[in-house]
Structure 1
Amino acid sequence: MRVISNQILEIFQPKIEKSTILPFIKEGISAGFPSPADDFLDLSIDLNQELIKHPSTTFYGRVRGDSMINAGLNDGDLLIIDKSLEPSNNKIAVCFIDGEFTVKRIAIAKDKIWLVAENEKYQPILVTEDNDFMIWGIVTTVIKNVM
């Protein structure tokens, strides 16, 4: 576990040794008028297959802190991070900087990399050659607990 810019990430790799098949409502769930969905519960979905495209390079991380709240990443959210994806401008990435993990939006401009928080309380971080820096992986999915 590392801390930077009021952000803590617990990083761990999923164990995808077996499938977890759950009931799935394929037709969607109405946010307006209720619809009879019992007929669709015979279908199933495996969230590992649905959300993890590259199991050997995929990790989970739990967000701690508030530096990315305006991007919809809240304290306690679970991130799915893929290390095989190429970083590009405006992607949300888990970065390793000066011995600590952080999650920020990356901004690439004229051979400079900025780590941009999505909360006005935090200033962007300019990555310089003095920093020990690596873009560790790209956030592909955010899983939220609504309770």
Structure 2
Amino acid sequence: MILQGDLEVFSLKSLKPMILKPLKEPLSAGGYGAFPSAALDFPDDSIDFLKLLVKDPVTTFPGRISGDSLKNIGVLDGDWCLIQKGIEAKPNDLVAATIDDQFFIKRFKPKYSDRNQLQTLKLKSANPDFSDFDITDETEFYLWGVITWTFRNWKKL
């Protein structure tokens, strides 16, 4: 299924396990260190990536992101995401929403009163070149799902 706006949404075609063997050693992202043991090239544990990424296959949909409105938080044009429907959006979550019949992915920014009642709702961009959406009673708005994962292809094979 392809929708207008910032997001293309697809359905999961297969629920077969995707088993990969992880490294046992954490991957350091800072500074130089000693080389890990060569024995770590042969881990004996495994991870089912589909099970790790998808908690409910019926309500989870992959999507491809279009545009750079979230580039300042590392979500770029062409990235992929997983969207789960039916879970509650929390402040600062990334959400997929329709606004005036167009699909968007934005940061969820509600503001609550002292009595925990919603006062205002903003769907925020993370790029000053893009506008935020102030959701009002007049806005045609539907919160479609919560983004649970984003992915980027670093090396085209």
Asked if TM exceeds 0.5, the reply is yes
How much has 1:76 moved relative to structure 2? 1.3
Rounded Cα–Cα distance in structure 1 between residues aligned with 2:108 and 2:28: 35
Shift of 1:112: 1.8
Q: Deviations over 1:5-36 (max 9, x none)?
A: xxx21101223431121222233334444313
Which sits farther off after the overlay, 44-53 or 28-37? 28-37
Residue in structure 1 matched with residue 114 of structure 2 by the alignment:
none
Among 73, 86, 89, which residue is 2:88 paired with?
A: 86
The superposition leaves residues 33-84 of structure 1 with CA deviations (integer Å, 9 ceiling, x where unpaired) of 43132231x3321111111112111111111110000111011111111112
Q: Which has the larger radius of gyration?
A: 2
Q: TM-score, normalised by structure 2?
A: 0.81
Higher strand share: 1
> For residues 13-52 of structure 1, what are the structure 2 equivalents within 5 Å?
13-31=11-29, 32-33=32-33, 34-36=35-37, 37-40=40-43, 42-52=44-54
Q: Which residue of 2 aligns with 1:10?
A: 8
Q: Secondary structure at the match of 1:56?
A: coil
> Where in structure 2 are there 5+ consecutive unaligned residues?
112-117
67-76 vs 106-115, greater mean Cα deviation: 106-115
Does residue 56 (structure 1) correspond to residue 58 (structure 2)? The answer is yes
TM-score (norm 1): 0.86
Identity of aligned residues (%): 34
CA RMSD of aligned residues (A): 1.8
Deviation >4 Å, runs of 4+:
none
Deviates more, 1:45-54 or 1:22-31: 22-31
What CA distance in whole angstroms lies between the structure 2 residues aligned with 1:83 and 1:26?
33
Residue pair 1:87, 1:138 contacting (<8 A) in 2 also: yes
Other structure's SS at 1:112 match: strand
Checking the alignment, whether the CA contact within 8 Å between 1:54 and 1:84 is kept in structure 2 is no
Paired residues of 1:9 and 1:102 also in contact (CA < 8 A) = yes
- More deviation, 128-137/30-39: 30-39
* Correspondence for 1:97: 99
